[in-house]
Chain A
Amino acid sequence: MFESLSEKFSSAFATLRGRGRISESDIDSVAEEIRLALLDGDVALSVVEQFVARIKERSIQALPEIRKSTNQSQEIYSIVNSELVEILGGPARRIRFAKNPPTIIMLAGLQGSGKTTLAGKLALFLKEQGNTPLLVAADLQRPNAVTQLTLLAQSIGVPIHAPEPGNGSGNPVSVAKSGIEIAKSKLFNVVIVDTAGRLGIDEELMRQASEIKSAVSPDEVLFVVDAMIGQDAVRTAKAFEEGVGFDAVVLTKLDGDAKGGAALSIAETTKKPILFASAGEKLTDFDYFYPDRMASRILGLGDIATLAEQAKRAIDGDAAKRLEEKFVAGEEFTLEDFLEQIQAMKKMGSMSKILGLLPGANSAAMRKQIDALDDDELIRTQAIVQSMTPTERKNPKILNGSRRSRIAKGSGRTVSEVNNLVDRFSAASKMMKQMRGGNFSGGMGLPPAMAAGMPSLGSPVNKVPPKKKSRSGNPAKRAIEEGR
């Protein structure tokens, strides 16, 4: 998201890196670069000015220390980093559950910021953590917002309270109230109230939101903000703070390339924490917001923590253990294991998203490579492996011409693709052996499936024209297929 911002920071720091000894004027020029980069990143002017002033002050103060350091630009880097983390909200905050359930969460925000989708994502997120959420459709304004939430609720298997069809009729306050009653009597432990979007100055809707708020007294009012918002972010946030009042911020559409300066502006001016980050159209593309990780991303340091966590979430514990045991015992790495890895990776999300979390992923050259990645490659690879018999998967050496052509037919791919996969696999398992022997020297340390499963990164070999894909009728499934 902060791509261009981090690119600019990188270039600002690159000039520093070349210097032998940093002077005050060097700091001035880096500060100026940072100022422009932040403005281009839609950070509010007042916030930019304060931020840059603090960076300058701290850097100049620390100049004697910095000069002693062997890596001077690194020192300034860490000053910028810690300031960023501080503005973005210090340590990550978690949702506050009520002492006496249900915990009531109310969503408010501008039109089109993504409230309704977010309601679905939040419900799924909470459900996965063992809660029993209830969705309440209190956006009775936008045509078919109620229908949209109902469909979302169905697809994630979360109950919904939607007594009014919406489209401009019905009383949202009483909908919200009756939703809470139902939650109490049926023992739901979390209630998520979706409200109508509004423009900052729309007093009518603003009043409606504060009426809902006082009627249900929520434990958390979440202000939902589109990461692409411009300088108006501060005005809007302030208007909401005054008109409705909120406890925390949720950033949406972080999967675009918007620099997301709104995150900085809103956090700094309202002093409210950013609680969640939503990136992607898949309902699972949702997580707590981590200020330190975000700061690293802004600075182009990559987001390894998120990557590791996603991997942990996706790879099922037993499978990982089994694989590890095999590895230690010196057993052969088979295509069965390979298949398991592919499936785990698919659970982690699209390849381009995974790679986007790596350090340096935001450089223009790397981005181009990542954009060129074909996420369907994994699906095709999986199809090929699944068309093999168990014996073949265990012992790929027996794959002769006729077996290969059968596999090609079975998976709907070409024989040369099958050949290619087998070659890549044997290269990968050779690599595994070397790793075991302690000869592994470098590379990114990707698991073999990652290394073997993505031939299109950097090499245009084996480029098959995309075929017309069948679409799944299930929206969630289709989103996965399309890598949204």
Chain B
Amino acid sequence: MGLFGSFFAKFSRNKATPEDIDEFRRVLIESDIGAEFTEEIIKLVEKERAEVLEEKVTEKILGSLSQSARSIELKPAGVTTILVVGVNGTGKTTSVAKMAKLFKGEGKKVLLAAADTFRAAAVEQLSTWGERIGTPVVVGKPNGDPASVAFDAATKATSEHFDILIIDTAGRLHTKNNLMEELTKVRRVVEKVTPIDEVLFVLDGTTGQNGVTQAKSFMEAVTLTGLIVTKLDGSTKGGIALATERTLQVPVKLIGTGEGEGDLEIFEPSAYVADLLTQP
């Protein structure tokens, strides 16, 4: 019966009752995977026989996801550069710190760049993390040009042979054109020194349908290669992660599952879907 047993076991007869379907719809809607996709899945539920339902629904959801690799590939030689972007308050700086810790644990030489020069004390926040983890942090002047901090960091990373450079950027609402342009500039300037290998979009797991819109705008500005979904340790189901991945076909690579430095995991779609479909 598998992980979804608790839910699908209810459909004991050949067909789910309208009440069952309503209940299923509620679970899906409340997970934030989106009304449209929910209706697609409901159509499937209405059509399929009970004994294959679990399999078909899982197949449908997993099939809608990105087929790209979910790991962060490190280059065999030279510095692997990761740019971290997102709207305000999603947990970018914390995710950067967690990633640094992860790579450092693998014996890599990691450099951090605090290119969030806007929010009061953001630079200090990353510097504090850097001290805790034991990684150097390149900082700029408060309200300085974020692109220049990123440039300095890229230069340092290449000349001092770091394995990984992670650039933290200021949170910005995707509706602010000038700020999105600033991000494009960061990317352009860094790439004068070294290519950017990953652009990771940090998505707050509690976000609603606006998450997709956000990711689309960032996709246009800096071409995303992966998503980091944060705050999944709360009561949220984080269905917006699926909705975003499905729409953009950009894979969720990492998920933040707690406040500790080590609470960052590789995303496992099948386990996630199973969890999503399990009744709360």
- Seen from chain A, the residues whose Cβ lies within 8 Å of a Cβ on chain B are 36, 39-42, 44-45, 110-114, 142-145, 147-152, 155, 167, 199-202, 226, 228-233, 235-236, 239, 253, 255-259, 261-262, 281, 371, 471-475, 478, 482-484
Contacts and interface: CB of A to CB of B under 8 A. Distances in A.
Contacts of A155: 120
B177 to A, nearest CB: 6
Most buried by A among B32, B87, B89, B213: B89
21 contacts: A36-B35, A40-B34, A42-B208, A45-B29, A112-B91, A113-B89, A142-B125, A149-B120, A155-B120, A202-B234, A228-B208, A228-B210, A229-B206, A229-B207, A230-B206, A231-B32, A239-B235, A253-B87, A371-B177, A473-B143, A484-B118
Contact of A255 (B26, B35, B173): B173
A66 B205 CA distance: 44
B89 A475 contact: no
Contacts of A261: 208
B231 A199 contact: yes
Contacts of B208: 41-42, 228-231, 233, 258-259, 261-262
Contacts of A228: 87, 204, 207-208, 210-211, 214
Contact of B121 (A147, A230, A473): A147
Contacts of A232: 32, 206, 234-237
B128 A478 contact: no
Contact of B206 (A110, A148, A149): A110
Contact of B234 (A36, A236, A255, A483): A236
A36 B39 CA distance: 11
A112 B206 CA distance: 11
B121 A231 contact: no
A258 B32 CA distance: 14
Contact of B143 (A42, A258, A471): A471
A240 B129 CA distance: 29
A160 to B, nearest CB: 12
A259 B88 contact: no
A258 B174 CA distance: 10
Contacts of A44: 30
Contacts of A483: 176, 178
Given A143-B125, A147-B120, A471 B175 contact: no
A476 to B, nearest CB: 10
B255 interface: no
Nearest to B117: A471
Given A230-B209, A255-B176, 11 more contacts: A45-B26, A112-B91, A144-B121, A199-B235, A201-B235, A231-B239, A236-B234, A255-B175, A256-B87, A261-B208, A483-B176
Interface in B85-130: 87-91, 118-122, 124-125, 128-129
B174 A256 contact: yes
Contact of A231 (B29, B124, B178): B29
Contact of A114 (B88, B174, B206, B213): B88
B279 to A, nearest CB: 14
Nearest to A45: B29
B204 A112 contact: yes
B173 A253 contact: yes
A113 B87 CA distance: 11
Contacts of B124: 143-144, 147
Contact of B35 (A39, A152, A235, A474): A39
B210 A257 contact: yes
A473 B117 CA distance: 11
Contacts of A145: 121
B142 interface: yes
Contact of A484 (B128, B176, B235): B176
B43 to A, nearest CB: 15
B31 interface: yes
Contact of B210 (A113, A200, A258): A258
B144 interface: yes
Nearest to B205: A232
Interface string B18-39: 0000000010011110111000
Nearest to A279: B173
B166 interface: no
A473 B26 CA distance: 50
Given A42-B208, A111-B89, A475 B32 contact: no
B233 interface: yes
B57 to A, nearest CB: 19
Given A147-B124, A256-B174, A484-B176, A231 B31 contact: yes
A484 B210 contact: no
B87 to A, nearest CB: 7
B145 interface: yes
B30 A231 contact: yes
Nearest to B127: A144
Nearest to A236: B235
A116 to B, nearest CB: 8
Interface string B228-261: 0001011111011000000000000000000000
Contact of B233 (A112, A199, A258, A473): A199
Contacts of B90: 112
Please indicate which of the listed interface residues B90, B125, B144, B173 has the most CB atoms of chain A within 10 Å of its own CB: B173
A42 B235 contact: no
B120 to A, nearest CB: 4
Contact of B142 (A42, A230, A259, A475): A475
B274 interface: no
